[in-house]
């Protein structure tokens, strides 16, 4: 029966080529635009997540219990041997590094500014974050250079310092004493992210340990996973092997609540796109099918008089609607996928909005990402819209009185 309904539906649509063509074209353009928007959403979300993670956060971080909440240097990890041993043989771990994170004050030539000091392992840091790529002047920290410091470019401007100048960094040690050290500026960092450019000062971790009297202690173990899907696996494994009374293991979205809000916004945006798909299909198809029904009142009346049951007539109209939407959907997916694949390869340059994009951890060139889930969601939404749009015309057609319908001109 389905093949019969399909042939009848196709025949009825081809009887009015202008109307059918305009409806298919309208559906195609609408679904193409929404497919491209969905790919853009997936692309910028993936780009934002990757940039956010690789700027500083990492996919997973391990701290002493309560450190992320207090941010106090007193809550540092005196020994990370247990964490390091767990990571050495763990699958999906691409790299990891140790850091010391502490708030302090930077002074130079009479100017001073608040600063976020980050003690890093220069070579390991290159494998975990993008900080190395942000050096716009000077050079990256060298192993053995204990007095070198990298400053955010905005922070350097506020301190009126440049390459080779001295900077005094002050911070509280775990004992509560204010400790200070003199550093020389080796390089300037520009990332477009306010927290990095306005506040960050990178120093060698060995110097930070000596300066703050931490011994071999650190505040963070930052882990880079090979994929986002591996994050939960890494976290569960670490929670299983570490003493969770002493350590806390946090995912990237748990470290900064804003990242979680961005993810939630992307999910809401996806549902809005699907709702628009349903509305577009309803508006386009309902109008076409109602016009088709009124043009074919005599045909429906004759079919009913010859013994076609109401359920069969209802199913025929529904099938005709699905055929119409399928034609528009195929055209739309071909157009939308074509644009998505093209810009996914060459990128969509939004450099004029670079400042706003950098603030959201987005690159100014966005690469749409056409995913199976994204296409499947739009396809299901389009079919759902088609079914909803077909119910009223199908119900009207199945309830026609044969005698009255056959008298229609």
End-of-domain residue from the set 243, 275, 298: 243
User: What is the model's pLDDT at position 355?
Assistant: 58
59 occurs within a structural domain: no
User: What is the model's pLDDT at position 8?
Assistant: 73
248 occurs within a structural domain: no
60 occurs within a structural domain: no
End-of-domain residue from the set 243, 274, 301: 243
74 and 212 in a single domain? The answer is: yes
165 and 214 in a single domain? The answer is: yes
User: What is the model's pLDDT at position 354?
Assistant: 57
Tell me the pLDDT tens digit for each residue of 150-179: 999 999 999 999 999 999 999 998 888 888
**124, 140 in Cβ contact below 8 A?**
no
Q: The tokens of 12 are what?
A: 């009825």
Residue 407 to residue 365: CA distance in whole angstroms? 63
46 and 91 in a single domain? The answer is: no
254 occurs within a structural domain: no
Q: What is the pTM of this model?
A: 0.72
Residue 312 pLDDT greater than 90, yes or no: no
Task: Supply the range of the domain harboring residue 349.
Answer: 2-52+260-406
What's phi and psi for 164, nearest 5 deg?
90, -10
85 and 232 in a single domain? The answer is: yes
Of residues 360 and 240, more confidence is placed in: 240
| Span of 124-133, 278-287, 320-329 with lowest mean pLDDT | 278-287
Q: How many CB atoms lie within 10 A of CB 312?
A: 15
**161, 117 in Cβ contact below 8 A?**
no
**3-state class of 120 per DSSP?**
strand
265 and 359 in a single domain? The answer is: yes
User: What is the model's pLDDT at position 402?
Assistant: 67
Residue whose C-alpha is closest to residue 181's, from 219, 226, 149, 158? 149
**3-state class of 326 per DSSP?**
helix
Residue with tokens 């850091």: 99
Packed helices 310-346 and 372-398: angle between N→C axes, nearest 10 degrees: 160
160 and 264 in a single domain? The answer is: no
**106, 201 in Cβ contact below 8 A?**
yes
Residue 402 to residue 400: CA distance in whole angstroms? 6
Residue with tokens 């057609």: 397
Residue with tokens 């050290």: 181
What's phi and psi for 216, nearest 5 deg?
-100, 10
250 occurs within a structural domain: no
Mean pLDDT computed over 220-227: 94
| Span of 3-12, 89-98, 148-157, 371-380 with lowest mean pLDDT | 3-12
46 and 76 in a single domain? The answer is: no
Q: How confident is the model at residue 298 (pLDDT cuts 50, 70, 90)?
A: confident
Q: How confident is the model at residue 271 (pLDDT cuts 50, 70, 90)?
A: confident
Q: Tell whether the torsion through CA atoms of 189, 124, 113 and 159 is positive or negative.
A: negative
Q: Tell whether the torsion through CA atoms of 337, 343, 344 and 345 is positive or negative.
A: positive
What's phi and psi for 261, nearest 5 deg?
-65, -40
**68, 248 in Cβ contact below 8 A?**
yes
User: What is the model's pLDDT at position 169?
Assistant: 94
User: What is the model's pLDDT at position 364?
Assistant: 67
End-of-domain residue from the set 243, 272, 298: 243
What is the DSSP pairing of strand 348-349 with strand 365-366? antiparallel
Q: How many structural domains does the chain have?
A: 2
Residue 99 to residue 80: CA distance in whole angstroms? 11
Mean pLDDT computed over 135-146: 91
Tell me the pLDDT tens digit for each residue of 59-99: 999 999 989 888 889 999 999 999 999 999 888 999 999 99
| Span of 14-23, 45-54, 143-152, 255-264 with lowest mean pLDDT | 255-264
Instruction: Find the helix or strand (DSSP H, E) in which 250 lies.
Output: strand 247-251
Give alpha helix (H) positions in 297-371: 297-305, 310-346, 354-359
What's phi and psi for 172, nearest 5 deg?
-85, 135
What's phi and psi for 60, nearest 5 deg?
-140, 145
Chain Cα centroid distance, residue 98: 27
191 and 70 in a single domain? The answer is: yes
């Amino acid at each position: 029966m389905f093949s019969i309904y399909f042939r009848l539906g196709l025949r009825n649509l081809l009887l009015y080529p202008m109307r059918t063509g305009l409806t298919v074209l309208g559906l195609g353009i609408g679904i193409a635009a929404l497919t491209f928007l969905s790919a853009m959403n997936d692309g910028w979300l993936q780009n934002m997540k990757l940039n956010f993670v690789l700027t500083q956060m990492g996919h997973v971080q391990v701290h002493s219990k309560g450190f992320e909440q207090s941010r106090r240097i007193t809550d540092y990890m005196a020994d990370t041997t247990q964490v390091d041993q767990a990571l050495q043989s763990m699958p999906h771990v691409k790299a990891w590094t140790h850091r010391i994170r502490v708030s302090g004050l930077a002074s130079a030539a009479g100017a001073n500014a608040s600063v976020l000091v980050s003690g890093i392992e220069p070579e390991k840091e290159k494998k975990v974050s993008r900080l190395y790529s942000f050096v716009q002047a000077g050079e990256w920290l060298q192993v053995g250079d204990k007095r070198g410091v990298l400053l955010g470019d905005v922070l350097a401007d506020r301190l009126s310092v440049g390459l080779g100048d001295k900077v005094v960094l002050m911070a509280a040690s775990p004992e509560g004493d204010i400790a200070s050290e003199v550093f020389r500026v080796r390089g300037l960092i520009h990332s477009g992210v306010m927290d990095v450019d306005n506040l960050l000062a990178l120093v060698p971790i060995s110097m930070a340990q000596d300066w703050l009297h931490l011994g071999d202690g650190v505040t963070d173990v930052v882990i880079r996973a090979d994929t986002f899907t591996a994050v939960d696996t890494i976290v569960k494994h670490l929670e299983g092997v570490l003493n969770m009374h002493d350590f806390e293991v946090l995912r990237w979205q748990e470290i900064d609540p804003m990242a979680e809000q961005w993810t939630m916004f992307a999910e809401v945006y996806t549902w809005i796109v699907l709702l628009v798909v349903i509305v577009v299909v309803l508006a386009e198809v309902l109008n076409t099918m109602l016009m088709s029904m009124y043009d074919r009142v005599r045909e429906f009346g004759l079919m009913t008089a010859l013994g076609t049951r109401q359920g069969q007539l209802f199913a025929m109209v529904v099938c005709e609607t699905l055929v119409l939407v399928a034609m528009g959907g195929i055209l739309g997916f071909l157009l939308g996928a074509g644009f998505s694949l093209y810009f996914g390869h060459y990128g969509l340059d939004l450099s004029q909005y670079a400042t706003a994009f950098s603030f959201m951890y987005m690159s100014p060139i966005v690469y749409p990402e056409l995913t199976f889930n994204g296409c499947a969601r739009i396809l299901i939404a389009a079919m759902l819209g088609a079914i909803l749009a077909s119910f009223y015309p199908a119900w009207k057609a199945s309830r026609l009185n044969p005698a009255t319908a056959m008298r229609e001109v």
